[in-house]
Chains A and B, each alone.
Chain A
Amino acid sequence: MAYLEEAYPEPTREKMRKWGVLKDEPMPFHEPIDIILSLLSSGRLFRVEPVDITAEIGELKRRVRELEARVGERRKPTMADYVYELFKEELEEKHFGKIVAIDAESEKIVGIGDTILEAYNMAVKETGKDQFDFRRVGYKYIYKV
């Protein structure tokens, strides 16, 4: 049976203090009224300073947009995404992690390399054009910054 804190005899309390079980400081809250008084004095229950509602709404809107952007896919699929999807299985099997250059007009993969420059140079040689679309095989992004 557990004793109340006050019921321990002094020698036992002395030992408990020595072992670190009992601390000298009193318990912070014994009564619910203590908690309410403490919250009132710290200003956490009632806000004392004036509230800028417009700023708070603005901040909440910003946070919601940020979370929406994080959860939902903001990018709209493009022609390059469509071409990538056509070759996705084959690419992910053979060239996972590499960068591919996509020619959206001819719907072809025209360059593959470890870097953008490698894929780009290969694509230029292949097609003679100077602008392509790029994707990293198996990833939603090309570079991390």
Chain B
Amino acid sequence: MTKKKTPFLERDYTYNEKYNLYFPILEILVGSKEYKKKISALADTGCTSCIHLCKSFVEKEKLVLGKKINKEPIPFSVADGHTINGDFYEIICEIDGKEEKVIVSVIDPEKFFKEEEPQIETVEPLLGRGILDKFDVLFKGKERKIALSHPE
């Protein structure tokens, strides 16, 4: 008989009034020492990056992202089919009390769609496969809970 794993983190889905839906949102600590900041990020299995942010969110939250590791802009494929340029930053992120180096990707969709009146809303930070794949993640759809446990 297989041993039942005890998750080190279990969170209820967060209700979004606008969409009348529940979303698996987790809180992560980004940055190191005095710059450490807690942000909420949507656990998104369709995002292949580690942590994905929009530039407007970084400016709004005044996040200190650390060292940029790319010289030229990096192409990202966004869900609606566009390819948008972005940057990579190496940051320290705290997961289950342990500090780890992760890569944060930042894109600027508002700059890409040069509108007179930009219609793009600030996109929620995403917690992608780069981090989710380090753990065993269980989406309890019926119970509206997300659980993370360490793989054996």
Q: Which residues of chain A have a CB within 8 Å of any CB of chain B?
A: 58, 62, 65-66, 69-70, 74-75, 78-80, 104, 115-117, 120, 130-134, 140-145
- Nearest residue (CB) in A for B52 is A145
Q: Is B59 an interface residue (CB 8 A)?
A: no
- Cα A144 to Cα B79 in complex, Å, equals 7
Given contacts A80-B72, A132-B69, A134-B88, contact A145 B83 (CB under 8 A): no
Q: Which of B7-15, B23-31, B102-110 contacts A (4 or more CB under 8 A)?
A: B102-110
Point out the residue from B71, B103, B128 that lies within 8 Å of A133, measured CB to CB: B71
Kindly report which residue of chain A lies nearest to residue B100, judged by CB atoms: A117
Contact residue among A78, A131, A133, A144 (Cβ-Cβ distance under 8 Å from B77)? A144
Q: Which of A80, A141, A145 has the most CB of B within 10 A?
A: A145
Decide yes or no: A134 and B74 within 8 Å by CB, A75-B83, A143-B49 being known contacts: yes
* B41 CB–A CB distance under 8 Å: no
Decide if A142 touches B82 in the complex (CB within 8 Å). no
Does the CB pair A78–B48 fall under 8 Å? no
Cα–Cα distance between A91 and B46 once the two chains are bound (Å) = 26
In the docked arrangement, what's the CA distance between A75 and B46, Å? Answer: 24
Contact A132 B76 (CB under 8 A): no
Q: Which residue of B lies closest to A69 (CB)?
A: B82
Report if A145-B77 is in contact (Cβ < 8 Å); known contacts: A70-B82, A120-B90, A130-B67: yes
Check A78 against B72 for contact (C-beta < 8 Å).
yes
Given contacts A120-B90, A131-B69, contact A143 B83 (CB under 8 A): no
For chain B, residues 117 to 152, give those with C-beta under 8 angstroms from any C-beta of chain A: 126, 128, 130
